[in-house]
């Protein structure tokens, strides 16, 4: 398959009448699969009402079929097209954070969405992205669009069109290049089908921000215990991993460096994922900074780009610093734990 490539400047007025948007939307109406930018990561979009389109998404990603997809919409009014029994909590969260990096789990509209999209569940994950290109193409298509991250399953999520090309060129129908994404980690997923909202996946909206709107919010037990089965789209399987094995090192810089030196003495090429503050401290084969510890949102923004950048090197092992698991740090550590397959080393 030849992948069509469109460049769209997200600051252009009247995006809905932009020829590239119109052509991409037409592809979606024909049940083809198109990658597009959101404020979090690039999404791999297809008609959420079509089994054919949804099957193409799973095939392109190599994604297990029991892993549901998030449905993207362009207006709050579209929620009623895909969901029923919308709780007051869900309405409050949508009002506070839409458009934005928040996905809500709701009861699905019967006999409406593709069973492939919802993986046969009675619920649907819905979000309204905060990106003009994403909103324009969804609106122009006139459909709810199912869209996981636009990468091969298991690899770091894409934050640029080049990342999508690296993984999916020749596999999908089209890629809309709208520049780099902003937040860099996926949306926060919140189950709003019960009395208390439950955070199934941490992301761009923090637990503290959610509780400021609706009061108490719980965190899914699977986020704290690797043996528990996650309920959220995109959280069930190994994810976000570069080619070399990643280890999370909880300890001082000096202790981390001792591990780096030990591995190098054994003939291994070692990469270190660090921050701007510690960049000059380490002596390793490849040292990549991932934002600043003074602003963890910069770490979230750069995380996937840095994980992918290690694939352009010949390192045998990657040692990563860790971050406080609070605020957006919860999302960062969640993604790093998945990338590392829960491999930790602790300073004694």
Check which CATH number belongs to the domain holding 111 and give it: 3.90.870.10
Q: How many domains does the chain have?
A: 2
Q: Does 237 show up as a binding residue in the annotation?
A: no
Q: Does 201 show up as a binding residue in the annotation?
A: yes
pLDDT digits (tens, 9 = 90+) for 229-278: 445 565 555 568 899 999 999 999 999 999 999 999 999 999 999 999 99
Nearest residue to 214 via CA among 83, 88, 59 = 88
Tell whether 203 is covered by a domain: yes
Beta bridge pairs of residue 273: 288, 320
Tell whether 241 is covered by a domain: no
- Same domain as 296, residue 174: no
Q: Does 40 show up as a binding residue in the annotation?
A: yes
> Could you give the CA distance from residue 156 to residue 346 in angstroms, rounded to a whole number?
25
Q: Element (H or E) spanning 35, and its range?
A: strand 34-36
Give me the CATH number covering residue 329.
3.40.50.11030
Cβ atoms of 34 and 28 within 8 Å: the answer is yes
> Could you give the CA distance from residue 219 to residue 39 in angstroms, rounded to a whole number?
24
Show the domain range for 26.
4-223
Cβ atoms of 123 and 233 within 8 Å: the answer is no
Nearest residue to 319 via CA among 255, 250, 249, 240 = 249
The token pair that represents 303 in the structure block: 């995380």
Q: Does 298 show up as a binding residue in the annotation?
A: no
The token pair that represents 166 in the structure block: 């690296």
Block residue for tokens 């309204």: 128
Q: Does 259 show up as a binding residue in the annotation?
A: no
Nearest residue to 322 via CA among 286, 283, 272, 285 = 272
Q: Does 63 show up as a binding residue in the annotation?
A: yes
Q: How many residues does the chain have?
A: 348
- Same domain as 197, residue 251: no
Tell whether 60 is covered by a domain: yes
Nearest residue to 188 via CA among 211, 206, 215, 212 = 206
Q: Does 127 show up as a binding residue in the annotation?
A: yes
Tell whether 230 is covered by a domain: no
Q: Does 67 show up as a binding residue in the annotation?
A: yes
- Same domain as 286, residue 178: no
Cβ atoms of 251 and 311 within 8 Å: the answer is no
Beta bridge pairs of residue 250: 346
Q: Does 187 show up as a binding residue in the annotation?
A: yes
Neighbours of 138 (CB within 10 A): 25
- Same domain as 250, residue 214: no
Q: Does 149 show up as a binding residue in the annotation?
A: yes
- Same domain as 185, residue 84: yes
Q: Element (H or E) spanning 272, and its range?
A: strand 270-274
- Same domain as 163, residue 31: yes
What CA–CA distances, in Å, run from 285 to 12, 149, 156, 228, 249? 43, 30, 21, 36, 17
pLDDT by residue for the chain (348 residues), tens digit each?
999 999 998 766 667 668 999 999 999 999 999 999 999 999 999 999 999 999 999 999 998 888 899 999 999 999 999 999 999 999 999 999 999 999 999 999 999 999 999 999 999 999 999 999 999 999 999 999 999 999 999 899 999 999 999 999 999 999 999 999 999 999 999 999 999 999 999 999 999 999 999 999 999 988 866 555 445 565 555 568 899 999 999 999 999 999 999 999 999 999 999 999 999 999 999 999 999 999 999 999 999 999 999 999 999 999 999 999 999 999 999 999 999 999 999 998
Mapped onto helix, strand or coil, the DSSP state of residue 20 is helix
What CA–CA distances, in Å, run from 176 to 24, 34, 157, 306? 8, 7, 16, 22
Record the pTM. 0.93
- Same domain as 260, residue 219: no
């Amino acid at each position: 398959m030849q992948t069509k490539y469109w460049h769209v400047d997200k600051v252009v007025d009247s995006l809905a009448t932009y020829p590239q948007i119109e052509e991409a939307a037409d592809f979606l109406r024909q049940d083809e699969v198109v990658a597009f930018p959101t404020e979090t990561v690039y999404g791999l979009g297809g008609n959420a009402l079509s089994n054919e389109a949804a099957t193409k998404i799973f095939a392109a990603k190599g994604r297990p079929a029991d892993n549901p997809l998030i449905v993207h919409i362009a207006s709050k009014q579209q929620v009623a097209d895909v969901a029923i029994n919308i709780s007051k909590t869900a309405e409050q969260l949508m009002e506070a954070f839409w458009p934005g990096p928040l996905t809500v789990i709701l009861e699905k509209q019967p006999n409406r969405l593709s069973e492939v999209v919802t993986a046969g569940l009675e619920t649907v994950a819905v979000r309204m992205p905060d990106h003009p290109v994403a909103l324009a193409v969804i609106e122009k298509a006139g459909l709810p669009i199912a869209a996981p991250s636009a990468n091969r399953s298991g690899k770091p999520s894409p934050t640029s069109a080049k990342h999508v090309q690296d993984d999916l060129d020749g596999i999908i129908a089209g890629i809309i290049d709208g520049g780099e994404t902003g937040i860099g980690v996926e949306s926060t997923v919140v189950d709003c089908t019960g009395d208390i909202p439950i955070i199934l996946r941490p992301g761009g909206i923090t637990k503290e921000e959610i509780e400021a709107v609706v009061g108490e919010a719980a965190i899914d037990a699977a986020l704290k215990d690797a043996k528990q089965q996650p309920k959220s789209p995109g959280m069930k399987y190994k994810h976000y991993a570069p080619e070399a094995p990643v280890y999370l090192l909880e300890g001082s810089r000096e202790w981390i460096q001792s591990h780096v030196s030990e591995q190098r003495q054994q003939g291994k090429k070692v990469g270190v994922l660090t921050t701007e503050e510690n960049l000059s401290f380490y002596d390793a084969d490849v040292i990549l900074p991932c934002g600043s510890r003074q602003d963890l949102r910069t770490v979230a923004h750069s995380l996937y780009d840095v994980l992918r950048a290690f694939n352009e090197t010949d390192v045998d092992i990657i040692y990563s610093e860790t971050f406080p698991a609070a605020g957006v740090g919860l999302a960062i550590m969640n993604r790093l734990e998945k990338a590392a397959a829960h491999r930790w080393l602790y300073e004694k």
